[in-house]
Amino acid sequence: MIDIHYSPEVADARASGAPLVALESTIITHGMPWPQNVETAREVEATIRAEGAVPATIAVLSGRLHVGLTDDELETLGQAKDVAKLSRADIAACIATGGTGATTVAATMIAAHLAGIRVFATGGIGGVHRGAETSFDISADLIELATTPVTVVAAGAKAILDLPKTLEVLETNGVPVIAYGQDDFPAFWSRASGLGAPLRMDSAEDIARAAETRTAMGLSGGQLVANPIPQEYEIAQEVIGPIIEAALDEAEAQGIKGKAVTPFLLDHIFRATDGASLTANIALVLNNARLGAGIARALAGK
């Protein structure tokens, strides 16, 4: 078995059976600028504690897989330059060669599962990119959801992606997509995407029971819980739509490819909205942390 370095707080939680919520680190290194990235990571952790669960932020630091970061480690990672972005394809190589890397949704699910953590909260998942019919750019996050038994709470997927194709790939791969408290699949900055979600649930207990039922049936893979952004933080489609189009055009013009695509688009949109996209992003991550803690408590029977 791989040697996992647990923070003292996470080690205590494991020993006492306290509910745990995994958190990714790519959102810190590649999803938000400093210093809001570190401030948000701290606020997300505090929210999970306030809701009666324990946060476990995951990253690879100097070749060691960390589950739970200390405040110093969080701060250092948040300011570090040239941190690798790790998915299923590269997490083992990073550990083997003593590297430092931030975990995407896919890599965080893998690490959470190794640590026995069944819930993970984040902002948005990767998906099928627009133009995937020629670029073949489909996030490894979708395949991980089909493989690893972790429930992921996100605010849906960003409109930088092709949402209908993302839902099709999830369905093909047998991933339950559960909208929380509404019928529509949420679209990150907007509560509605105009696409009906395949499933709807209105309580953390139902989501926890569905995860347990899948395990009891021997079904592989996790669940995607799509939690709509709080209404007061929504960004109107008329505002964000043209900005997304411009970001996609710029990525195309600069020939951005592979794992650089998502961070490039996020940064472009942040600058084009004068930071409004970030305010919304922070609000929805905190909202997902609250729901993630509720699901973790239900799973732990607490």
Residue 19 binds which entry of ligand PSU, Mn ion, none, CB below 5-8 Å type-dependent: none
What tokens appear for 166 in the block?
């993302």
Burial class (CB in 10 A: 0-12, 13-18, 19+), 1: exposed
Rounded least distance, CB 102 to ligand PSU, Å: 8
Q: Under a CB-based contact definition with an 8 Å cutoff, are residues 185 and 197 in contact?
A: yes
**Minimum distance from residue 113 beta carbon to Mn ion (Å):** 22
The Cβ-side half-sphere exposure at 34, using a 13 Å CA radius, reads 9
The minimum distance between CB 97 and ligand PSU, in angstroms, equals 21
Asked if 162 interacts with ligand PSU (CB under 6 A), we say no
User: Counting contacts by CB under 6 A, is residue 126 touching ligand PSU?
Assistant: yes
Q: Is 137 within any annotated ligand binding site?
A: yes
Judged on CB neighbours under 10 Å (0-12, 13-18, 19+), 194 is exposed
CA 79 to chain centre: 20
* Residue 43 among the catalytic residues: no
**Residue among 72, 84, 69 nearest 29 (CA):** 84
Cα separation, 62 vs 89, in Å, equals 18
Torsions phi, psi for 157 (to 5 deg): -125, 150
Q: Is residue 144 close enough to count as binding ligand PSU by CB under 6 A?
A: no
Question: Is residue 104 at the binding interface for ligand PSU, with CB under 6 A as the rule?
Answer: yes
Which CB sits closer to ligand PSU, 47 or 288? 288
Q: Give the nearer residue to ligand PSU in terms of CB position, either 158 or 297.
A: 158
Residue 183 labeled ligand binder? no
Selected range binding ligand PSU among 120-128, 209-217, 224-232, 246-254, rule: CB under 6 A:
120-128
∠ CA(240), CA(243), CA(248), 5° rounding? 125
Q: Which of residues 20-59 bind ligand PSU (CB under 6 A)?
A: 24, 26-27, 31
36: helix, coil or strand?
Answer: helix
| Span of 132-140, 153-161, 168-176, 270-278 interacting with Mn ion by CB under 5 A | 132-140
Q: How far apart are CA 115 and CA 148, in angstroms?
A: 12
**82's torsion region: left (phi>0), alpha (psi -120 to 50) or beta?**
left
Strand-pair partners of 156: 187
Minimum gap (Å) between residue 122 Cβ and ligand PSU = 7
Mark whether 259 is an active-site residue: no
If residue 61 lies in a helix (H) or strand (E), which one and from where to where?
Answer: strand 54-61
> Is 192 labelled a binding residue?
no
**Residue 24 interaction partner, one of Mn ion, ligand PSU, none, beta carbon < 5-8 Å per kind:** ligand PSU
Which residue among 9, 158, 234, 259 is the active-site one? 158
Alpha carbon distance 301, 17 (integer Å)? 10
91's contact among ligand PSU, Mn ion, none, with CB below 5 to 8 A by partner kind, is none
Q: How far is the CB of 1 from Mn ion (least distance, A)?
A: 30
137 lines the binding site for Mn ion (CB under 5 A): yes
Q: Which of residues 194-253 bind ligand PSU (CB under 6 A)?
A: none
Tell me the DSSP string of 245-268.
Answer: HHHHHHHHHTT--GGGHHHHHHHH
Annotated binding site for Mn(2+): 137
Active site residues: 24, 158
Residues lying near Mn ion in the complex (CB under 5 A): 137
Residues lying near ligand PSU in the complex (CB under 6 A): 24, 26-27, 31, 104-105, 123-126, 139-141, 158, 259, 262, 266
